[in-house]
Amino acid sequence: MFLFTTPTTRETAPANPVVNAIRDGAERSGAGFDYLLKTAQRESALDPDAKAKTSSATGLFQFIEQTWLSMVKQEGPKQGLSDYANAISADETGRLSVPDAATRDKILQLRNDPQVAAVMAGALTQKNRDQLASTLGRQPNAGELYMAHVLGSRGASDLIRAAGNDPTRVAAKDFPEAASANRNIFFDKSGRARTAQEVYGVLAASHANTQLAAATTTGSVKSAAGTDQPVPIAAALAPDRAKGLIGLFSTEGSRQPVSKAVANLWTTPRSDASRLAALDPADRYFPRQGASDAAPSPPPASTAPANPPTATTAPLPPSRPLDLTQAGNTVPKSTAKPRRAPLDLSAFMVQRSGT
């Protein structure tokens, strides 16, 4: 009872520092929080120390070395990392490197920092969005942004075009390095190489179907990486679930807004008993009767013999009243009361002497 008492204060669940870091990175970079959270869960299951076995990808968002050095070089001065940005240089081929080995290790270790990784992932998302929009002539969707995160903006543009212009082309031929590092994307379970259209569908579906735990502040988020199954729909929202006052008047797990008995009470009764007969006995309330009482039972079949009873066995009529059997009483007597004579007032009159 909380009507007249003060309920005890519930302890607030401890905040997940990784989720908070992703939220802060989304705000600072302008990228969508939901997109970054799904990407981090898909890539690393929200583990800042995640390390890929087939490439140099590390951290929440699985940045490879060259992509990370490029982001620190471009975005480092904006995030207070000017010293690290100045330490990165590019050779004649455009490949980035850090001459000092100790500084290089420190820069690469920043991939394991959720705060820095989230900001860089948000900045990379915005950069990929602008480049894809310029190339495609439209705004990319979330699945196409994830393709750019995996393949780069140029690789994502090539895949999107190939899926539209040459959908049966084997995608691994155009992306050999990405196919080697992500065989589950470019090859099916039997080892068959997927087409460009199939790879596009796998990447788009894998990001869209990534499940997010309801309580993202408790750290109990589980990854759906490696599964391409669609996210199950909640029971309250299933297509066959009736909308409205669900459960308020329903019983026994019915999906209808109200039970049959309540719906029966809210309708106008008909002259016949078909409405009551359609209900289960447990759902009847007014009147409380069984199914056999809904309609009157037919009269039992007659078991009388075919021949009528004889006069000896027939019942006699009642006796005639005595006053009707006496002679002279055929004429009914008058029941009127006798009429009284006029009132005699002579006794009260005063006799006067003659004049």
In the three-class reduction of DSSP (H, G, I as helix; E, B as strand; rest coil), residue 9 is classed as coil
Within 8 A by CB and 6+ apart from 80, the residues are none
Q: Is residue 170 a contact partner of residue 195, using CB atoms and an 8 Å limit?
A: yes
Burial 137-161 (b: 16+ CB within 10 A, else e): eeebebbbbbbbbbbbbebbbbbbe
| H helical segments located in the chain | 17-29, 33-44, 65-75, 82-86, 101-109, 114-136, 142-165, 171-174, 176-181, 183-186, 196-208, 260-265, 274-277, 322-325
In the three-class reduction of DSSP (H, G, I as helix; E, B as strand; rest coil), residue 117 is classed as helix
Separation between Cα atoms, residue 71 and residue 123, nearest integer Å: 8
Instruction: Give the DSSP H/E element, type plus range, for residue 96.
Output: strand 96-97
198 assigned to active site:
no
Identity of residue 255: R
Separation between Cα atoms, residue 23 and residue 17, nearest integer Å: 10
Quick one: three-class SS letters along 302-324?
A: CCCCCCCCCCCCCCCCCCCCHHH
Q: Which residue among 43, 65, 75, 144 is the active-site one?
A: 43
Annotated catalytic residues are 43
